[in-house]
Chain A
Amino acid sequence: MAAPLSVEVEFGGGAELLFDGVKKHQVILPGQEEPWDIRNLLVWIKKNLLKERPELFIQGDSVRPGILVLINDADWELLGELDYQLQDQDSVLFISTLHGG
């Protein structure tokens, strides 16, 4: 059983437009059986934060190609991408490099 986590989720490069234009979200992830990884976080974001057009942000179980993910200001490719296990007080930033955001 993983304890609840406090995580900062941020959107940039136009991705925030799908979240009512709000860039920074301080969220509490509830405790659950399995540990919180990025894969779970994306599901949680889709359910709780995403306001419209989920297909423009999420594709399959990952983000849409063209959206970069930074975990604590580092490339998620360095940290295992979807399998990275979130720690308390982590910050996750999504930057869209797609045209028009």
Chain B
Amino acid sequence: MCQVGEDYREPVPKDPPPPPRPGHEQQKCMKWCVKCKKGAPVLVIRAGDAFCRDCFKAYYVHKFRAVLGKNRLIFPGEKVLLAWSGGPSSSSMLWQVLEGLSRESAKQLRFVPGVVYVDEGAACGRNPEDRAETLAEVQSILRSTGLPWHGVALEEVFGLPQSVLRHFSQEPAMGDGAYKEAVDGFIQQQQGLGTEGARDSPSLSPGLEQLSWPSPHNPQSPARPHTAAETEALSRLFNSVRTLTAKEELLQTLRTHLILHVARTHGYSKVMTGDSCTRLAIKLLTNLALGRGAFLAWDTGFADERHGDVVVVRPMREHMLKEVAFYNHLFAIPTVLTPAIDTKAPEKASIHRLMEAFVLQLQAQFPSTVSTVYRTSEKLVKAPRAGRAASPSRPCCLLCLCMLDVDSADSATAFGAQSTTALSLRQAPALQTQAKEPTVPCCSPGLCEDRGCCRGARPSEREDLQACVIEQLCYSCRVNMKDLPSLDPLPPYILTEAQLRNHRAQAMQEIQEFLIEDSEDEVETGQS
């Protein structure tokens, strides 16, 4: 695909080659819509098919429903959180859901949606006035939807509990049978109660009760207003990151944690994101380049169940960005333009930017590029995780929350090489500390809650903290964290959880040693 060459030109011409097409000839063959054969076409999609406005709308809406229907993942009555950024794809998704809810037909969407908006202004270095302006726009749009919504600022990551980083396993009661049962149960209830009542009733079928978040986990409401100090801390964090690539990854990580937290505290068991087909194709290649190959199936698949209790789904994954942009324009879908972290950045500023330019450029010459790459993402299987899901102590990456499926013992891999270098680098100071105060942690896990103790730690302790965070990351997150000169500005929940996991691992090791000795003693005493 990457070869620019003659051997590629020969077989391709069956597809209409887009670059130089004589205008009048093209107009002749695209005079009418390919579907209804009578409407005047307004856009060309799928490598050369012209659609009229009405047929395009039907096609677009159908595709959204088909993705949801095909996957049978969202149960009737289930609470679903729509992650809305104001951008084109997520706005389109939001309006598709609204339209699906308002329909009177049998195919009406039956889940209960809410919307979450994350204000990332501080990470992008926007001033408070601009942010307030965007927020006002966001609020007016959200109010017009009539859905419950949660507006959170990225600053709130500084108040997140550690539990965000934990995996809560969930019974996989998602078989076809269970889905049908739930649908039947829902329809019966609906007939009994009338539409409105059914929608609001808390437990709709026996299978659904377990879907709601059970524990009163976090007393903190995410609607908590953020302080100026937090804004400053967040911009300090982002300013300290050396590369735009790492900044984008960090932003994505924190955003995901925040959305996950909102979903859990409000009892949403699904989160919908607006990733389009084009974005996913770019993401697939970007993540490969970032060393996230092992997690591609989670990062780009339709459903991402890495968090256990909250599943991320991507219903826009079959819509091309061109279709999304046209739909939004033709049907006046409101969007909010917010400058992102990479706005106006040059093409080679980050791996993300570079890959985007690469894919879109190829797409311009070969119109099936995006769909080919996207189809690859469809074929990826998540087998290894399903096999090990049963074990309770699966180690997860502290940041991306993917299962650590890297073998640190195998020094022949890139990962092994990386950990050996890291180990040898910090061997010397670590040995010194151990000589003075063997295995005494810098503070007990409970005390870590108040930030000061670990952050103002002495240099050697800070190195220990750094090492214990790094140890709990996947390959890609380790590489990203290299672009952070210090881990101190990270939000406290990440650091605290890292230490807690470290202590737990140490304690586990101690117990294990003790148990082995104990059993050996028993054997010996038994013998004597």
> Which residues does A use to contact B, with CB under 8 Å?
12-14, 16-18, 52-53, 55-56, 64-66, 68, 70, 73-75, 77-81, 83-84, 93, 95, 97-101
The answer to whether A99 and B42 touch (CB under 8 A), given A55-B347, A80-B26, is no
Query: Are A75 and B326 touching (Cβ within 8 A)?
Result: yes
Tell whether B290 is near chain A: CB-to-CB under 8 Å: no
**Given A17-B344, A66-B356, A100-B345: A79 touches B23 (CB 8 Å cut-off):** yes
- Contact A53 B50, beta carbon cutoff 8 Å: no
Say whether B325 contacts A13, CB under 8 Å: yes
What chain B residues lie within 8 Å of A100 (beta carbons)?
Answer: 339-345
Within 8 A of A (CB), among B299-345: 321-322, 324-326, 329-330, 337, 339-345
Of all chain A residues, which has the CB nearest B24? Answer: A80
- How many inter-chain residue pairs (CB < 8 Å) link A and B? 99
The 4 closest A-B pairs by CB, nearest first: A80-B23, A100-B340, A75-B43, A65-B360
Q: In the complex, A79→B364 CA distance in Å?
A: 17
- When C-beta atoms are compared, the residue in chain B nearest to A66 turns out to be B360
Q: Does B278 contact A (CB under 8 A)?
A: yes
Knowing A66-B360, A74-B41, the reply to whether A17 touches B325 (Cβ < 8 A) is: no
Q: Which positions 2-24 of chain B face chain A at CB distance < 8 Å?
A: 18, 21-24
A55-B347, A75-B42 given; A101·B26 CB < 8 A? no
Would A78 and B30 count as touching, CB distance under 8 A? Answer: yes
Q: Are B356 and A68 in contact (CB under 8 A)?
A: no
Instruction: Find chain B residues with CB under 8 A from A79 CB.
Output: 23, 27
Task: Report the minimal beta-carbon distance from A69 to chain B, rounded to whole angstroms.
Answer: 11
Interface size on B, residues (CB 8 A): 41
Q: Are B343 and A14 in contact (CB under 8 A)?
A: yes
Cα separation A27 to B467 with both chains bound (whole Å)? 60
Q: Can you pick out 25 interface pairs between chain A and chain B where the beta carbons lie within 8 Å of each other?
A: A13-B88, A13-B325, A13-B337, A14-B339, A17-B344, A52-B344, A53-B344, A56-B346, A65-B357, A65-B361, A65-B363, A65-B364, A66-B321, A66-B356, A68-B325, A70-B329, A74-B41, A77-B26, A77-B44, A78-B41, A78-B50, A80-B21, A95-B325, A97-B322, A100-B345
Query: Of all chain B residues, which has the CB nearest A63?
Result: B364
User: Of the candidates A13, A68, A74, A84, which one forms a contact with B42 in the assembled complex, judged by CB atoms under 8 Å apart?
Assistant: A74
Closest residue of A by beta carbon distance from B324: A97
Whether the Cβ atoms of B42 and A80 lie closer than 8 Å is no
Closest to B335 in A: A13
CA distance A56 to B22 in the complex (A): 27
Contact assessment for B340 and A80 in the assembled complex, using a CB-CB cutoff below 8 Å: no
Q: Does B167 contact A (CB under 8 A)?
A: no
State whether the Cβ of B79 lies closer than 8 Å to any Cβ in chain A. no
Judge whether A17 and B43 touch: CB under 8 Å.
no
Q: Chain A residues with Cβ under 8 A from B330's Cβ? A: 73
Does B352 have its Cβ within 8 Å of any Cβ on chain A?
yes
Q: Given the known inter-chain contacts A56-B344, A65-B357, please indicate yes or no for A14 contacting B337, CB distance below 8 A.
A: yes
Report the minimal beta-carbon distance from B342 to chain A, rounded to whole angstroms.
4
Residues of B within 8 A of A70 (CB): 326, 329
Chain B proximity of A26: nearest CB distance (Å): 19
Minimum CB distance partner of A73 in chain B: B42
Bound CA span A97–B27, Å: 25
CB neighbours of B322 from chain A (8 A)? 68, 97
Chain B residues whose CB sits within 8 angstroms of the CB of A80 once the complex forms:
21-24, 26-27
